[in-house]
Structure formats: C-alpha cells, structure tokens
Amino acid sequence: MRKSVLAAAMAALVMAPVSGAEASKRFQASITRTTFGIPHIKAADWRGVGYGVAYAYAEDNLCMLAEEFATVAGERSKHFGPKGTATLGFDQVDNLSSDVFFRGVIDIEALRASARQQSPRMQQLVEGYVAGYNRFLKDAGPDGIPADCRGKAWVRAITADDMLRLNEKQMLLASSLALAPAIANAAPPGSPAPKVAINFPDPAELGIGSNGWAFGGDVTTGGRGMVIGNPHFPWKGPSRFWQMHVTGPGGYDVMGVGIAGTPIPTLGFNKDVAWTHTVTEARHFTLFQMALDPADPTRYMVDGTSEAMTPLTVTVPMPEGEAPVTRTLYTTRFGPVFVVPARGIAWSAQTAFVLKDANRGNQRGIETWLRIGEAKNVGEVKAAVSETLGIPWVNTIAADRFGDALHADVTAVPNVSAEKAKTCATPIAGLFAEFAILLDGSKAACDWDVAAGTPAPGLMPASDQAATITKSWLTNSNDSYWISNPAMPHGRLSPILGKYAMPLSLRTRSNFTETPALLAGGKIDHARAESLAFGNKSLAGDMVVAPLLELCTVGEAKEEKVARGCAALGGWDRRYEASSRGAALFRAFWPKVARLPGLWAVPFDAADPVNTPRDIATDKVGDKMLLALGEAVGDLDKAGIAIDAPWGDVQRVVVGNDAIPIHGGPGGLGVLNVQEALADAAGLTPRHGSSYIQIVGFDAKGPVADAILSYAQSTDPASPHFADQTREYAAKRWNRLPFRPKDIKAAAIGKTKRIAE
C-alpha cells in the first residue's frame, strides 16, 4: 500500500504545473529529450498533450509539416507551381491534380460538423496541436525557421481546419488518394483530354508493406507477450514515422510513433500492451459502374429513375501573375466520378465510374488509438478497434504482459458480402477484380448493406471481420486474413477482406518459414527477435540460384555476360547484408523471370501454401532464365554498378560526404527486412522500407523495448538527429527505450523545456 501511495504522489508531482503563475494557462506541457532526440511529452490535460507534441514535432520537422498543410489546403500550385509534384499517399501526383482533389473532394463543412460530434478529448487534442504548432512558429521567429523553408509564404500559422484536412488525408492514404488524379481530371464527354498521365494503381503499391509479429506466453522465454513491429513506410515525406513518449491525463502513458500531424502515438506500447500495424489487404472502397441518362451524361439512372450528378466548381490559385485554374468535379450518391483513359476507364455518353470510400469522413481513428493506448490487455485492444471501426487501413497486431497475442484485421471496410459482390457485379467487373470490387450503380440495392450498431452506415461489422487471440504466435506481412499462423488458418470471409486460398507473397512465405524455424530452436527473447526483424535472407534466392547455377554449366552460359552473371551469383550468400556480393545482380534479375509462365514445376497448393509453388522448371524456362541473367548484367553495366559489388556499396544513404550502407532488400525477393530503393547518382537510395522497428516485451515492472528509426527523427539537415539513427540501423544497433521516469532522467540530453500560454 505504501508503495502505491508513494507512486501516486510522485505521479502527481510529475503532472503538476511547473509554477503557480502557470496554473491559469490554457496550454502547458514539458518536453524532455533523450538519446537520438526522442521527446518525452508530459501534460496534465489533452490540450497540453497536443500542444507539446506539435511543438516537439515542429522542432524536428517544421518544413515538411508546413508543406503538408499547404498540400491539404490545396495551395501547392500557388507556392510550388502546377507542374511540380506532391506526395499523396505513397506516390507522386502533379500539384494541380492534388489541389483540385483537396479543394473538391475534401468537404470541410462536413468535417467540421463531424468534429463537433467527436469526444471532448479528441477536440482538445486538435486545439492543443494547433496552439503548439503556432507557438513554435512564434518562438522560432523568422530567423529560427530551418533553412529549407525560411522566408517561404507557405510557412504560416494553422487552424483547426488544417488539422481536419490533414486527418482526412491520412484516413484516405490507401484508398481515395490513389485515384486523386483520376478524380481531379474527370470531365463529361466532349471535354478536352486530361493533360497529365493517370495511372490505375498497382494493388501491391496501395499500402507499400510491413511485417508484424505477436508472440504469446507459450513461445516466449518469460511467459509474457512480445511484439515485433517492422512497418515499411516511406523514408521521405509526411508518412515518415516520428518517435514520441506521451504522458497525459488519467494515467495515459504511451511510447511509440506517429506520422505528420498525429497528436499521439499510433503504434507503440504502454506498461501492459504493445502493438504494431501492417497494411491490410482488405479494400476500403468499392467502385460503381453508372448507367447514364441518354439525354444527359451528367445524369445517371438508379432503378429506372434519372438523378442529377452534383457539380462542384473548384478554383485553384496559381503563382503570382498567373490566372487561377477552374475545374468542375461531379459526384453521385455513391461518390465522385473518376477516369483512367489509359485503362479504358472513361466517362462516355453511356457509362461513368465512381468511387465510394469507407474512410471518407472517418474521424474515429484518434479515439481508437487513444483507447488502444489505454488498453490493459489485448482484449481491450480488440474491443477498441471493433467498437469504433476507426482503424482506416491497417491490421492491428498486439501482445500483452499476461501472455496473450492478437491479430485483428478489423478496419473501416465496406459492408459488401460475397453474395452481394457476385449478384451486383457488372459484365466487366472481372477487369477490376485485382484492384477493387465493381458494383452495379444502376441498382439502389447494390449499395453497401447497413448493419445495426456500426458507427457509420454501410460499414462491415467487426463480427464479420477477422480477429484471433492466442497464447502462441501470429504474424502478418500484408497478405490477407486467411493465415496469421499456418497452424490455424481462418475461415473464408467476404472477398472485400482479401484473397482466400490463393498464393502468398514470397515475403509472407519467408515469414512463415523463418518464424517457426526460429521457435524450433527455443523460445523467443529480445536477441532472437531482433535477428528475425533484421532477416535479410532472400527466399527467392534460396529457391532459384542453385538451379540457375546448374544451368550455367551448359549452353548459353558461354555467352560473356551470362558467364559473368553466373560467377557473381555463385559467390552470393543469398542475403541482403551490406557485405553481400551479387545481391544487386539478383535484384536486377529476379523481376525479369518471376512471372514467367511455367516457372514452377510444383504449382500452388492451398493445402500447402507455405511451400508452394516451388522448384524451378528448368527444362521449360532455363533458356529464358539465362537470357534474363545476361540482360541483368547488361543493366548493371549500363548503370555503372559492379555485379559483384558489396550490397552496402550499392544501396546507401549519402549524408554530406558520408555514404551510409543500408542493409535490407526488396520484399518481392522474399526479404523480410524490406528496403525498396530508387536509382540515383549515389547508386540505390531507399525509398521505403523498414522504418520504426520495435521489439517490445515485458518484465515484472513493465515494458522492455528496443527500437530504431532507420531514417532518424528529423528532416532538417542541420539537426544532430538527421541521420544519427540511420547509422545505428546500418550497424544493426538498437536503442533500449527509456520508459520509466528514472530511465528517462538517465538518458536525458539537455534540459527539460517547459512551454505554456
């Protein structure tokens, strides 16, 4: 009893105002930085939490966040020119299309109305965030703004509207944003063709990727739960993670990460629970094919009755001296019209295509993450995601100190059953199947079903989605709910939740191979978990290189480029370590052969999805493989990359005069520790991949967490935390995160900053 009273007294002291003079302040928080610049924000109320988080985030990433506010306000063309590009979701979009989308599709009046219905604490978080961001601008002054955005007109004070728009963007990252140019450039028949390229998104690129593991007490050394989180997110832009530790009202005490504008951790741990997220295969929108009124292509037929589309004229300001650009967008009862001319998706006199998004207007996410942060066990995590349906597009993978593990593929997803998807399909629905479910918009009955008790009409109830709790282990590498552990496959659910009994990705198969192999050698602890998180083995390399080398002894292998390629792959360790030689060549080779018809001698078998398909059919594709190897050698020669160069000499991050070698490789090669890179003058520079990697277990006192943020906390080159963790990631070193007050005090760098107003 005495210990609990003492702990409560100490907590009260920690949360107390810093002085009597500040007792009347509306906003106040303290910020203590520890190793690598990680901020520990303390506040007595939710306004203070938002206030402190925003201030600390702006200290590290002001220019990036200020640019993001310009993006969601539809002001990119004005400040950066209409032909420049914006980062929307996980892709680049021309600024004009971005501006039209945000000015036309984001309904600020509806967002304001919805915000007023949210919990008081969510409203207070937003209020505090606005105040904290603006306070930083005031404190920094014109000369204190980072060099990259100093003196720029787009660095300005923000309002709650900016936060509402930014939250909406984040909810739509893996859905509507992927079709932003297609929506922004849709126009009735007879209009000029779009002047920008519009692509139909690759489903594999909608959410990039991630790995997450939850281990229950049956397989951990201490009998408590453990989580490995390894989300694969962009290295640049507003979807970068940022570490924080927030101590707030009511015992809220959570450490983890969020992306730009997030006022609390959305991935991390508290004293009882740890969790991570992976992008789900579920689709969070559907498409509708509209039958148009023969008399007017801006009207459409539903159950034989003509309805008018709703026009919205959007005006986008241009750089000074240039006339604004005006566009008119059209929307239906289901959603906005879109076009992708290159794929034959056009707005004709007979047909138009529209998109309906389950995450449009979803402001429930922050409340969901608040509840997860308050959870005392994985059952409460499951309840949070199930009752709010606020998680937009990610799986939730969690474990608690009591030894339970959870995988919940429960999100804001359209309530479309397998039967509805079948009966409401149009004759061309199959052409869209890989991307989305296409429904018949001419029938009102083909709209999403409304289930009782969901927080928004048309959402699929959590009871119809997938969630599993076990004392064993569960994992996800972006394949569907079907298998989280090969020993316990899930039953079939609606196709909108993902593929069932279909081939798994090589990365998922690698996960389902490496995880049991690790556990076969003994129960998991931090050290063994860290080796799994940094698994750089290529499953494709293990499956392909040996039979390829056998081919190298005959026939076409005498061709000079092929012979060189054979020699290089013969010396490759089948891994993507910085020291691996030949890795760059296999990276160039595998995409050329991965989809060859007849590649595998043993086809996929749903009864053995981890081990099939397998065995290269060299008698059928051998010549093509050798030809592809020669082409890959030629590609590297042309790029000036030695085919046997150490991988770390090829994939690297250049910081000043320092080239930091980066381990990890493409997920499509069956590499768990994903790093997808783009070619540039430095060789290959990571574009997205392993970002915030955390290993969280528990002891009798609470969480024990090791983590590293591969691209570090700050986007400001002048910051000491611009690349410090990148060097640690390169060296495979981890940071034991300070969570308890005494550990924070021991790891503190500089003095605690106290802000109030």
Catalogue the active-site residues.
210
Can you tell me the distance from the alpha carbon of 294 to that of 600, in angstroms, rounded to the nearest whole number? 50
In 3D space, the residue among 13, 456, 476, 406 whose CA is nearest the CA of residue 210 turns out to be: 476
**Phi-psi sector, 361: left (phi>0), alpha (psi -120 to 50), beta:** left
> What's the start-to-end Cα distance of the chain, in Å?
38
In the block, which residue shows the tokens 């924080």? Answer: 244
User: CA-CA distance, 23 to 142, in Å (whole number)?
Assistant: 30
| Contact assessment for residue 663 and residue 573, using Cβ atoms and an 8 Å cutoff | no
Instruction: Please confirm whether the linkage preceding 613 is cis (ω < 30° from 0).
Output: yes
What's the rounded Cα separation, in Å, for the pair 645 and 629? 16
Phi/psi at 596 (5° precision): -65, 130
Beta strand pairing call for 466-470 and 405-409: antiparallel
| d(C-alpha 176, C-alpha 198), whole Å | 14
Question: What DSSP letter does each residue of 246-315 carry, written as one string?
Answer: EE-GGG-EEEEEE-TT-SS-SEEE-SSEEEEEEE-SS-SEEEEEEEEETTEEEEEEETTEEEE-EEEEEE
Do 593 and 631 meet the contact criterion of CB atoms below 8 Å apart?
no
Cα–Cα nearest to 263, from 393, 359, 363, 366: 366
Answer yes or no: are the C-beta atoms of 357 and 172 closer than 8 Å: yes
Question: What's the CA gap between 332 and 336, in Å, rounded?
Answer: 6
Question: For 372, phi and psi rounded to 5 degrees?
Answer: -60, -45
